[in-house]
A and B are shown apart, each in its own frame.
Chain A
Amino acid sequence: METNTALLLALVLPALGTLGNIFLRDKANLRDSVTLGAAVATFLCVLTILGNVGNGTTAPLTLFEILPGLDLAFNVEPLGLLFALIASGLWIVTHVYAIGYMRGNKESHHPRFFACFSLAISAVMGIAFAANMLTLFLFYEILTLSTYPLVAHKGTAEAIRGARVYLGILIGTSIALLLVAVIWTYALAGTLTFAKGGILDGKVAGPLVAVLLGLYAFGIGKAALMPFHRWLPAAMVAPTPVSALLHAVAVVKAGVFTMLKVGVYIFGIDFLAATGASQWLIWLAGFSIVAASVVAMTKDNLKARLAYSTVSQLSYITLGMALATSMGALGGGMHIAMHAMGKITLFMCAGSIYVATHKTDISQMQGLGRVMPFTFAAFLIGALSIIGLPPLGGSWSKWLLIMGAADTGQWIMIAVLMVSSLLNVAYLLPLVGRGFFLKGQGIKADAKIAEASPLVWLPPVLTAFGCVVLFFYAGDIQTFLSPIVAAE
């Protein structure tokens, strides 16, 4: 298959999944199979692109001109391809999980749920393959709007409040800051097409560079940089599959992915390093990393704790960009993959516990490890990967980030990354300890295994296994990403 055909199919197939859910709303099994088919086909398309292009960069595929000189255009480059691979691959796993979760939990409005879910994936593909900032911005907003119904899904007062915060912050920052940044960039550079080495070198100088970077950094609300992180905990009212794929992988990664794209292809790493415009962002990201970890420790609700953990981990990637070195950018890019695999495991485990026991608070999960060994084992592996211990994927990206910090002499940031690892241990591992070693009420020592259906516990086991596999392929990912920082 031709690369461009595969690219368009990867954009359209999830949208077809949306249509399938709308038109087949009364036939549950057929509907879910169609979506699964769309997910598998999307992943195959992305794999085809990988086979064809490798880690090369293709010429933009222009669909049409939106404004004079500004096209709706797509192309393939390593960072976007990696993001598309992760999102489409994990979509398959999550879809299987979501079927089990939604049915096992007797949630309502399945067609609307899966229709919006597929549409969100379509938007993610658009973001991953966008050839310029305008196209990216278009799909960025579609992603916000298509996930809003998922957050409001339960329709309770709490869900509506959460959805308001979600939409308010994401739309608010994107219109008030990101849009201005995009238009300003266009006014300065006369183009918005992503290009190696950036498009702003020589077009703007002095403190204005830092101001523009600030508009981007805060405007990309999906990256959950403090103080615009409140939407992520608010989004946790959504059903767990949404939290797993969208708010641990697709949506938040779309944010930090955009952040990296802006750093690498709009500003250019060298330009940022030369102007020192991203110095302040290093400090803010460092603060975000530690502060969010500390907040996470205070949360008893498991999903809320994981949400704050995500806020903290996202700032790793922002930090990687702000360091403005090739190691940092590579580490950030790789962390997109590593954190995705680890965090989706944790969220799916949280959902698995909820389906089986309807418990949401960590303090109530004593002894559950004995009856749900698969779930808790997967959680342990995911947690260790987030902490960054070998032989799990998370250790490599953290390693690269530390190297990047060392390159620029940011010793304090090395300390921040280390402290963050310790904090990770402190807020993730107690759950495993409680589950396995403490005695729960009404759970006998010889209790039988009482997991939810395999549709719910198998996916996290698979992704936990993925965390191990990624450890051994980290070198390949680094080689794969290396062109984004290679000199011309």
Chain B
Amino acid sequence: MAGDITHHAALTLTDHLPILQVLVPFVAAPLIVFLGNRGLAWALSFIASAAAFVIAGLLLGHVIDGSVISYEIGGWAPPLGIEYRIDAANAFVLLLVSAISTLVLPYARTSIEAEVPRRHHTLFYASYMLCMTGLLGVTATGDAFNVFVFLEISSLSTYVLIAQGAHRDKRALTAAYDYLIMGTIGATFFVIGLGMLYMATGTLNMADLAERIATQGANRTVLAGFGFIIVGMGLKAALYPLHLWLPNAYTFAPSVVTVFLAATATKVAIYVLLRFMFSVFQPSFIYESSTIEFIILPLAILAMFAASVIAVFQRDMKRLLAYSSIAQIGYMLLGIGMLTETGLTAAIAHLFNHGITKAALFMGVGALVLKSGGSFFDRIQGLGRVMPFTAAAIVIGGLSLIGVPGTAGFISKWYLVQGALEKGWWPVAMLVVLSSLLAVIYVWQIVEALYLKAPAKDITAGEAPPAMLVPLWIMAAACIYFGLATDITVGAAQTAAAGLLAGSAGLGH
């Protein structure tokens, strides 16, 4: 609804919400370093994160009716100045990132105590805040180059966070190094793409870009730019087969980092893909459509199956879930590939639903690791009896991953199948449900390991500490809540999908 754009020339604190969203964690990071105190570092991160969560909630409340907030940084009007644009699509992602972060932090305190040496804790929280800043910034900004800047902020801090896993397992260092190399290649591709677009259009503001690409049509430079951007972001989103960095990074990073990254980082990359595909370039962009049909769709389906099959053969629960994530990203891309409102709704809803599902599952693994010292099946087996609450929450997360009705995962699957049927894509609908069956297999391996085997001999009795159990159960409860009450998720996803499909019209001034 292009008519409802609110322009803010900086009036009250409420009008500054878009920039505060990013600024709060950004300021928290250096403060944490200056204060240099472990307890304060945690408290500050938590406060910043909770504040970001409140801000994201307020923003989503503003834009869920389809309106758009445009914020000019420093009062410099776009396209010269940097613009932050909040609509239903990115407000929803902002909410996901900040909500996950706020729930992860209480959990983090206990978890990193066991996995990261104390002298690193302060810097850990600082990196964590920077990572969050980057993710929020990428999402909130309406400026293409700004996306790159924040992307690098989040990536660099992510490399540091993953490397912290080295205290438990040295392989975290190679995992972080792999991700550093591949992440940098991705970011470089992205920035090359941006450079080409800038050469062709002379602007970096997304709305402006959209307008100029629409009027001047596609030329070779623009097309090449588009290709570079998709590949670059595809790498960050772990689009199959650009996913090679992901399994090791998720497996060897500290549990908290895995929870946070799995639930947010790839989701933000998917959001950027959406933004570029639908807002900067138009959905009707003919070359783009064939890209989607011949490249994105087959890759999405390949991801759904190949990654699920690999997941079935994993003996390490963390790695199993990592491969499952790659498969689930396939679902999101499939939804995007349908280029219909239902398909996009499915993709955006799944972005959120899978975020909370994976957060619950990885939190569960973290609790198991705290007790047993490892995430291999032979370490976690039988823990269902020792840690009934943790295990029950993992089962709920697993059911949501399968897409059992009454859980969040079901809602996304419903829209995905409905979208495929609407387009008359029978085989695709069948492929979606068949790949869910693979999910049944790998989830049930976890369930059988937890409940039907005897625990290892050195395991002592006792549940995970409440600081871990409570966030874990909030996530598990969210998996059920969003499977039954879908006003927020489907509502926002539908508005966002409609906005995105309206193409650059939704971005016009």
Q: What residues of B have a CB within 8 angstroms of the CB of A141 in the complex?
A: 404-406
Q: Indicate whether A183 sits within 8 Å of B437 (C-beta atoms), given known contacts A145-B399, A152-B452.
A: no
Q: B169: CB under 8 A from chain A?
A: no
Number of residues from A at the complex interface, CB < 8 A:
30
Dominant secondary structure of chain A at its interface with chain B = helix
Q: Is B417 in contact with A66, judged by CB distance below 8 angstroms?
A: no
* A165-188 at interface with B (beta carbon < 8 Å): 167-168, 171-172, 175-177, 179-180, 183-184, 186-187
Q: Indicate whether A180 sits within 8 Å of B417 (C-beta atoms), given known contacts A145-B399, A160-B448.
A: yes
CB distance from B423 to the nearest CB of A (A): 11
Q: Is A168 in contact with B429, judged by CB distance below 8 angstroms?
A: no
* B398-435 at interface with A (beta carbon < 8 Å): 399, 402-406, 411, 413-414, 417-418, 421-422, 429-430, 433-434
Q: Is B405 in contact with A176, judged by CB distance below 8 angstroms?
A: no
Q: Is B486 in contact with A176, judged by CB distance below 8 angstroms?
A: no
A186 to B433, CA, bound (A): 17
Contact of B433 among A66, A155, A175, A187 (CB under 8 A): A175
> 4 nearest interchain CB pairs?
A138-B405, A176-B433, A183-B417, A187-B421
Q: Is B440 in contact with A184, judged by CB distance below 8 angstroms?
A: no
CB distance from B392 to the nearest CB of A (A): 11
Residues 52-66 of chain A, each 1 if its beta carbon lies under 8 Å from chain B, else 0: 000000000000111
Q: Is B418 in contact with A187, judged by CB distance below 8 angstroms?
A: yes
Q: Is A142 in contact with B406, judged by CB distance below 8 angstroms?
A: yes
Q: Is B437 in contact with A176, judged by CB distance below 8 angstroms?
A: yes
CB distance from A73 to the nearest CB of B (A): 13
Q: What residues of B have a CB within 8 angstroms of the CB of A164 in the complex?
A: 444
Q: B490: CB under 8 A from chain A?
A: yes
* A118-169 at interface with B (beta carbon < 8 Å): 134, 137-138, 141-142, 145, 149, 152, 155, 160, 164, 167-168
Across the interface, name the chain A residue whose C-beta is closest to B421.
A187
Given contacts A141-B404, A179-B433, A187-B421, 13 further A-B contacts (CB under 8 A): A66-B483, A67-B486, A142-B406, A145-B399, A145-B404, A160-B452, A171-B404, A175-B433, A176-B434, A176-B437, A179-B413, A180-B430, A183-B429
CB distance from A137 to the nearest CB of B (A): 6
CB distance from A69 to the nearest CB of B (A): 11
Q: A68: CB under 8 A from chain B?
A: yes
Chain B contact residues (Cβ within 8 angstroms of A): what range?
Answer: 20 to 34
Q: What residues of B have a CB within 8 angstroms of the CB of A176 in the complex?
A: 430, 433-434, 436-437
Q: Is A66 in contact with B484, judged by CB distance below 8 angstroms?
A: yes
A266 to B330, CA, bound (A): 33
Q: What residues of A have a CB within 8 angstroms of the CB of B437 in the complex?
A: 171-172, 175-176
Q: What residues of B have a CB within 8 angstroms of the CB of A142 in the complex?
A: 406
CB distance from A159 to the nearest CB of B (A): 9
Q: A72: CB under 8 A from chain B?
A: yes
Q: Is B484 in contact with A64, judged by CB distance below 8 angstroms?
A: yes
A97 to B321, CA, bound (A): 43
Q: What residues of B have a CB within 8 angstroms of the CB of A64 in the complex?
A: 484-485
Q: Is A137 in contact with B405, judged by CB distance below 8 angstroms?
A: yes
A–B complex contacts, Cβ < 8 Å, 12 sampled: A64-B484, A66-B484, A66-B485, A66-B486, A67-B411, A152-B452, A175-B402, A176-B434, A180-B417, A180-B433, A183-B417, A187-B418
Q: What residues of B have a CB within 8 angstroms of the CB of A66 in the complex?
A: 411, 483-486
> Considering residues A164, A180, A186, which has the most beta carbons from chain B within 10 angstroms of its beta carbon?
A180
Dominant secondary structure of chain B at its interface with chain A = helix
Q: What residues of A have a CB within 8 angstroms of the CB of B448 in the complex?
A: 160
Across the interface, name the chain A residue whose C-beta is closest to B487.
A65
Residues 67-89 of chain A, each 1 if its beta carbon lies under 8 Å from chain B, else 0: 11000100000000000000000
CB distance from A70 to the nearest CB of B (A): 9
Contact of B417 among A65, A168, A172, A179 (CB under 8 A): A179
A138 to B417, CA, bound (A): 17
Q: What residues of A have a CB within 8 angstroms of the CB of B429 in the complex?
A: 180, 183
A122 to B486, CA, bound (A): 24
Q: What residues of A have a CB within 8 angstroms of the CB of B402 in the complex?
A: 171, 175
A145 to B406, CA, bound (A): 12
Q: Is B399 in contact with A67, judged by CB distance below 8 angstroms?
A: no
A137 to B430, CA, bound (A): 18
A167 to B447, CA, bound (A): 12
CB distance from B352 to the nearest CB of A (A): 15
Q: Is A187 in contact with B405, judged by CB distance below 8 angstroms?
A: no
A68 to B418, CA, bound (A): 13
* A414-468 at interface with B (beta carbon < 8 Å): none
CB distance from A327 to the nearest CB of B (A): 34
A183 to B433, CA, bound (A): 12
Q: What residues of A have a CB within 8 angstroms of the CB of B444 in the complex?
A: 164, 167
CB distance from A14 to the nearest CB of B (A): 17
A322 to B251, CA, bound (A): 52
A141 to B448, CA, bound (A): 18
Residues 380-399 of chain A, each 1 if its beta carbon lies under 8 Å from chain B, else 0: 00000000000000000000
CB distance from A484 to the nearest CB of B (A): 25
Q: Is B405 in contact with A134, judged by CB distance below 8 angstroms?
A: yes
A60 to B127, CA, bound (A): 53
Q: Is B484 in contact with A172, judged by CB distance below 8 angstroms?
A: no
A480 to B490, CA, bound (A): 42
Q: What residues of A have a CB within 8 angstroms of the CB of B411 in the complex?
A: 66-67
Q: Is A183 in contact with B418, judged by CB distance below 8 angstroms?
A: yes
Across the interface, name the chain A residue whose C-beta is closest to B483.
A66
* A276-315 at interface with B (beta carbon < 8 Å): none
Q: Indicate whether A155 sits within 8 Å of B430 (C-beta atoms), given known contacts A141-B406, A167-B444, A179-B417.
A: no
CB distance from A154 to the nearest CB of B (A): 10
Q: What residues of A have a CB within 8 angstroms of the CB of B404 in the complex?
A: 141, 145, 171
Q: What residues of B have a CB within 8 angstroms of the CB of A175 in the complex?
A: 402-403, 433, 436-437, 440
Q: Is B421 in contact with A172, judged by CB distance below 8 angstroms?
A: no
Contact of B484 among A72, A160, A180 (CB under 8 A): A72
Contact of B414 among A67, A72, A177 (CB under 8 A): A67
CB distance from B414 to the nearest CB of A (A): 6
Q: What residues of A have a CB within 8 angstroms of the CB of B440 in the complex?
A: 167-168, 171-172, 175
A142 to B484, CA, bound (A): 14
Across the interface, name the chain B residue whose C-beta is closest to A149.
B451
Residues 38-49 of chain B, each 1 if its beta carbon lies under 8 Å from chain A, else 0: 000000000000
Q: What residues of A have a CB within 8 angstroms of the CB of B451 in the complex?
A: 149, 152
A180 to B487, CA, bound (A): 23
Q: What residues of A have a CB within 8 angstroms of the CB of B485 in the complex?
A: 64-66
Q: What residues of B have a CB within 8 angstroms of the CB of A177 in the complex?
A: 433
CB distance from A219 to the nearest CB of B (A): 10
* B453-509 at interface with A (beta carbon < 8 Å): 483-487, 490
Q: Indicate whether A155 sits within 8 Å of B452 (C-beta atoms), given known contacts A141-B406, A176-B437.
A: yes
CB distance from A72 to the nearest CB of B (A): 7
Q: What residues of B have a CB within 8 angstroms of the CB of A187 in the complex?
A: 418, 421-422
> Considering residues B404, B411, B413, B448, which has the most beta carbons from chain A within 10 angstroms of its beta carbon?
B404
A434 to B489, CA, bound (A): 64
CB distance from B175 to the nearest CB of A (A): 34
A155 to B453, CA, bound (A): 8
CB distance from A136 to the nearest CB of B (A): 10
Q: What residues of A have a CB within 8 angstroms of the CB of B436 in the complex?
A: 175-176
CB distance from B500 to the nearest CB of A (A): 19
CB distance from A177 to the nearest CB of B (A): 8
Q: What residues of B have a CB within 8 angstroms of the CB of A149 in the complex?
A: 451
* A201-260 at interface with B (beta carbon < 8 Å): none
A54 to B351, CA, bound (A): 47
CB distance from B319 to the nearest CB of A (A): 23
CB distance from A8 to the nearest CB of B (A): 16
CB distance from B197 to the nearest CB of A (A): 38
CB distance from A12 to the nearest CB of B (A): 16
Q: What residues of A have a CB within 8 angstroms of the CB of B413 in the complex?
A: 179
A188 to B448, CA, bound (A): 39
Q: What residues of B have a CB within 8 angstroms of the CB of A172 in the complex?
A: 437, 440
CB distance from B410 to the nearest CB of A (A): 9
> Considering residues B406, B448, B487, which has the most beta carbons from chain A within 10 angstroms of its beta carbon?
B406
Q: Indicate whether A67 sits within 8 Å of B490 (C-beta atoms), given known contacts A138-B405, A171-B440, A175-B440.
A: yes
